[in-house]
Structure 1
């Protein structure tokens, strides 16, 4: 299922993605002069924070709309796929990624490309959805899709591995894993709550449905999840679990 990104909606609804990235940025520890690739740079808000350290940062994203938004922030951003990075071999001291890798279709091709683009000894530092990420949301969403005859539309949208399985995958591609952790991170959703989250992060699935059904699916999913994920003050909390790692080429 192709995920489509609306930059204005993402900036409003998905601001927590870059706001909560302090931990993985700390693991990266960007330094002045360091050549860094931000893999899946999105609208460039986090990329700009990396560049502010004096590092030489390039962004790459598969979405032309996101690349345009990043460039509007002064980011050196190019359009490209994680499975075919538009850069020469051994070009970066570090490759960084936040909240992106779980969207990549071919993990093995992507990891081979990351290894190729890193200089020998360079670091791959990333955070992605890990095993159990948004499990309650997906159970509810899939149940509603199944009720309407579209259960398979959620199949393969994301990949949320365990630390053990992803370490093995990294090692198969020549990486040495220095640190890898699964981090539960319940996340308070902002304006629009769960409905806005679904319209933003499941836009591809929703757009694959008959138009008349889309808002029905959103409303029914929210109703199903209310007891588990909305508190007594009406705040929605998504059941995020992150996988964070440092791997050296």
Structure 2
């Protein structure tokens, strides 16, 4: 994690138990995601660093079968309690820095990988190698990271 101090699971649990969230999902973000990802019912998605699960559920609304992973057991518990699930959303606790994306995720099996406000907390070199392994040809990685306080951009790239 290039020069960053790791945040403990207890710190993340306190953050999520306080009901905090990285960034409210706005209409512009939803439109841009829809325009770039072109989500279709039945697509497979992972949401890495899902927090309390709002974005994971948003992808489920599009019909994507989505698994949200988070380091914090408190976040996963809140995400599971948050509903609605749209019939295709689940949440798992996982230390992506220590374990990487679970090996149970088949290579080239995922259409969309989302890292919304989480990449800055993850070992990006290891993680992006894992993302490349699991994305289908033509799959999309959606990354939103804070660059400026008032307007974090979103970045899209595809595996071809």
Aligned residues: 138
- Listed as ranges, the matches of 1:1-249 within 5 Å are 1-3=5-7, 4-5=11-12, 6=14, 7-9=16-18, 11=19, 13-14=20-21, 17-20=23-26, 21-22=29-30, 25-26=33-34, 27-72=36-81, 73=83, 74=85, 75-83=89-97, 84-86=100-102, 87-104=105-122, 106-130=123-147, 133=148, 239-249=149-159
**Partners of 1:28 and 1:96 within 8 A in 2:** no
**Partners of 1:64 and 1:79 within 8 A in 2:** yes
**Partners of 2:143 and 2:156 within 8 A in 1:** yes
Mapped to 2, the partners of 1:29 and 1:69 lie a distance apart of 28
Larger Rg: 1
Gaps of 5+ in 1: 134-238
Q: Which has the higher contact order (CA 8 A, sep 6+)?
A: 1
**TM-score using structure 1 length:** 0.50
Mapped to 1, the partners of 2:51 and 2:38 lie a distance apart of 20
Mapped to 2, the partners of 1:65 and 1:8 lie a distance apart of 6
**Partners of 1:24 and 1:125 within 8 A in 2:** no
**Partners of 2:47 and 2:69 within 8 A in 1:** yes
**TM-score using structure 2 length:** 0.75
Gaps of 5+ in 2: none
Mapped to 2, the partners of 1:85 and 1:111 lie a distance apart of 10
Q: CA deviation at 1:23?
A: 5.3
Please provide the CA RMSD for this pair: 2.1
